[in-house]
Amino acid sequence: MLDPTSFLFVTLDSCRYDAFLEADLPRLKSIGSVHRAIAPAYFTFPSHQAMFVGYTPGDFSSQEPYVNPRRGQFFRMIGPAPTRPHDFMLLRGRNVIDALKRLGFLTLGTGAVGWFNPHTPTSRPLTRDFHRYFYPGNNHSVHKQVAWAERQLRGHRRVFLFINIGETHMPYYHQGAPWPRQPNPAGPNIEQNDAAECRRRQTACLEFLDIQLAPLLDRFRHANILICSDHGDAWGEDGHWGHSFYHPKVVEVPLVFHLAQSPSPEPPPPTLREKLQWHFRRLTGRLPDPGERART
């Protein structure tokens, strides 16, 4: 059994909040309440960069920690901003993955969309810090991602597993789907686009994923689980289609989570290297922020 401090973090790429809410998802919705959240960015790369330093999607009108990151974050990185009483994890490192490695977690990552292709230099900020990483080669191979993750989990108890899933990304296709991958119903040729078909396909992909993710959801049922999207898509609203631009529907995403146990109620003590770096900055006049100074 996994350690209860283990963490499963799933991003359903491009998934709209309304599509998630309407879909029949008994497994995913059993994790917790479905919250309407605002993503930190409107395309994959910056949104994941933000999430990997703790800025997950949130409902900023809520008073509930984690639903509203300003009330308490799942992952709070030490240094950039003051901590809050409800922060779930206090982490020291260049990002969440690096920080959890310092705490002894096995860090596993698999991303489906092109920004996670390890053969491209642009993917390195998103992929380089995992102990083990897998790229399935396309947007519709969640079965390969789950099988890879299952193999990696054998014999390990304290794990951080990140999965970016591509089936919900346009053209909204899953293995065995009764429709072709092309044409894309939300593509640049807007005369051929079809909002109803977009909704039908993404909903069907979600319901397919609800079954495919069942083994991992079961493995982490006594640990921590966070499911969200990095952004949504516009389906003809105000004449817009797809993402990579600001629109309310592009940043409106689902957020579902279950928290069991934090691995570190207090941040790990600073390393010798961090102490030396702080003293060097002090001697050269490049002082750290007051909060960092107090902690060292």
> pLDDT for 155-168, tens place per residue?
878 999 999 999 99
- As a whole number, mean pLDDT of residues 5-19 equals 98
pLDDT at position 268? 55
DSSP code of 114?
G
pLDDT at 83: 77
Q: Is 7 left (phi over 0), alpha (psi -120 to 50) or beta?
A: beta
pTM of the model: 0.89
Residue 280 has pLDDT above 80, yes or no: no
| Confidence grade of residue 295 (pLDDT, cut at 50, 70, 90) | very low
* DSSP of 195-254: HHHHHHHHHHHHHHHHHHTHHHHHHTTTSEEEEE-S---EESGGG-EESSS--HHHHEEE
The residues pairing with 137 across neighbouring beta strands, listed in sequence order, are none
Report the half-sphere exposure of 9 (CA within 13 A, side-chain side): 23
Question: pLDDT-derived band of residue 286, with 50, 70 and 90 as boundaries?
Answer: low
pLDDT of 283 strictly over 60: yes
What does pLDDT average to over the chain?
91
Return the DSSP state at 134.
Answer: E
Q: C-alpha 241: how far from its chain's center?
A: 23
The bridge status of strand 35-38 relative to strand 75-77 is unpaired
Residue 260: partners with Cβ closer than 8 Å, 6 or more residues away: 4, 5, 222, 223, 224
Residue 262 predicted with pLDDT over 60: yes
Total H helices, total E strands in the chain: 11, 11
pLDDT band at 205 (very low <50, low <70, confident <90, very high): very high
- pLDDT tens digits, residue range 119-150? 999 999 999 999 999 999 999 999 999 999 99
pLDDT score for 121: 96
Tokens of 82: 């003051």
Distance CA 235, CA 254 (A): 17
Rg (CA), the chain: 20
Q: Considering the chain, what percentage of its residues have pLDDT values greater than 70?
A: 89
The tens digit of pLDDT for each residue in 180-203 reads: 999 999 998 888 999 999 999 999
pLDDT higher than 90, residue 71 = yes
Separation CA 231–CA 208 (nearest Å): 20
Which residues make beta-bridge pairs with 250? none
pLDDT of residue 289: 44
If phi > 0 it is left, if psi is from -120 to 50 it is alpha, else beta; for residue 236 that is left
Structure tokens at 285: 């006049």
b/e sequence 14-52, b meaning 16+ C-beta within 10 Å: bbbbbbbeebebeebbebbebbbbbbbbbbbbebbbbbb
Give which of 3, 21, 28 is closest to 216, Cα–Cα.
28
Q: Is the pLDDT of residue 291 over 50?
A: no
Burial class (CB in 10 A: 0-12, 13-18, 19+), 272: exposed
pLDDT tens for 78-120 read 886 677 889 999 999 999 999 999 999 999 999 999 999 999 9
Q: Which two tokens stand for residue 11?
A: 């991003």
Q: Which residue, chain included where needed, has tokens 């990185």?
A: 77
pLDDT at position 264 = 67
Cβ-contact 6, 25 below 8 angstroms: no
Contact call for residues 233 and 197 (beta carbons, < 8 A): no
